[in-house]
Homo-oligomer: A and B are copies of this chain.
Amino acid sequence: MDKRKPNLTEVAAAAGVSKMTASRVLRNSGRFSEKTRARVMQEAARLNYVPNRLAAAFGSDAASTLVGVLVPRLSGGLFGQVVEAIDATLGRFGYQTLIGTYENRGDQEENWLKSVLAWRPAGLILTGRAHSEGTTAMLKAATLPLVEIWDLNTRPMDISVGINHFDCGYEMGQLFLSRGRQRIGYVGTDETTPGLSRARMEGFQQALKGTLALPVESEILDDRPSFYQGCYGAQNLISRRPDLDAIYFQNDEMAVGGMAFCQSAGLSVPGDIGIAGWGGMDVATVLNQRLTTTNISTRAVGRAATEVLVSRIRGDPVNEVIEIPAVLVPGKTL
């Protein structure tokens, strides 16, 4: 038995019309009579016709309905939520999500980009605004709709949808000061793509600069952010500077890890030491104190990025810099 999929020609023949008419009916473009439409649709259904997007995307100069999405990782953290929102929104507009992760391997970004561009995608969504030279060159040459997300970039290559991380850090720094904290530490990780969280630390430091508070003592770990890293980082920091009275963590996951360490070390929070995180992650709900953090709407980032990308693909006018608000939520840990 021949298992080959039926193609448009066969559907058209079965319906007694030309290929082109069948194509028009199936795409609902151009003009045709209701009677013709019904016949074509019926035959397509009867034959289990599956349109070949490969041929469609290839044959027309219009780009494909593929959109490349690149994030550092999918597990833990917030990127999984972002990608979920992107995928759901792209789906609504009839696009498909071609995913890529580059966890701890910056060079992967370039390889991924090469293989994705080969599919002539309709657009791209990349995380972070720092790219390698090769990446930048390829993106410039490709001249396709491109959204850089997560880190707000006021002068994006094309479009930027993100959070003002510097301000997040700055605001949190001010909160630390208003709580009377003086000997302050920061625990973060050194991600391959800088800028992803660094701006937050810089804003934080900026807020404390020129105040009575001592310079921020930083512990930068060489791994992805996680509970362990938060716990470990807090331990390192406190053993180096036992007089610390507050720590700002790169994200809530790490902050929760830090809390765990403090608890095991017999330090009371916020009495002996203040703790704050970032991201408004679900994980913080396990604490019996509300964590001081900055809430981010990851869904909003994903949705806004996708919607603006689709607008650009369609040639509609778009706002090229879209800031997603972040809200500092004072909890009980600082």
In the bound assembly, the distance between CA atoms of A53 and B3 in angstroms comes to 24
This chain: how many copies in the complex?
Answer: 2
Question: Which of A80, A115, A288 has most chain B Cβ within 10 Å?
Answer: A80
Residue among B58, B73, B116, B231 making CB contact with A96, cutoff 8 Å: B116
| B-contact 0/1 string along A282-318, CB 8 Å cutoff | 1101111000000000100000000000000000000
Residue among B48, B73, B117, B286 making CB contact with A283, cutoff 8 Å: B286
Residue among B100, B119, B226, B287 making CB contact with A87, cutoff 8 Å: B100
Residue among B3, B50, B66, B257 making CB contact with A285, cutoff 8 Å: B257
In the bound assembly, the distance between CA atoms of A141 and B5 in angstroms comes to 8
Residue among B83, B96, B100, B260 making CB contact with A115, cutoff 8 Å: B96
A97 at the interface (CB under 8 A from B): yes
Residue among B75, B112, B226 making CB contact with A80, cutoff 8 Å: B75
A64 at the interface (CB under 8 A from B): yes
By a CB distance below 8 angstroms, the chain B residues around A103 are 84, 88
| B-contact 0/1 string along A1-19, CB 8 Å cutoff | 0010000000000000000
Cβ of B97 and Cβ of A100 under 8 Å apart? Answer: yes
Cβ of B76 and Cβ of A282 under 8 Å apart? Answer: yes
In the bound assembly, the distance between CA atoms of A256 and B81 in angstroms comes to 20
Cβ of A55 and Cβ of B53 under 8 Å apart? Answer: no
In the bound assembly, the distance between CA atoms of A118 and B260 in angstroms comes to 49
A residues sitting closer than 8 Å to B (CB atoms) are: 3, 48, 50-55, 57-58, 64-66, 73-76, 78, 80-81, 83-84, 87-88, 91, 94, 96-101, 103, 108, 111-112, 114-120, 138, 141-143, 226-228, 231, 256-257, 259-260, 263-264, 282-283, 285-288, 298
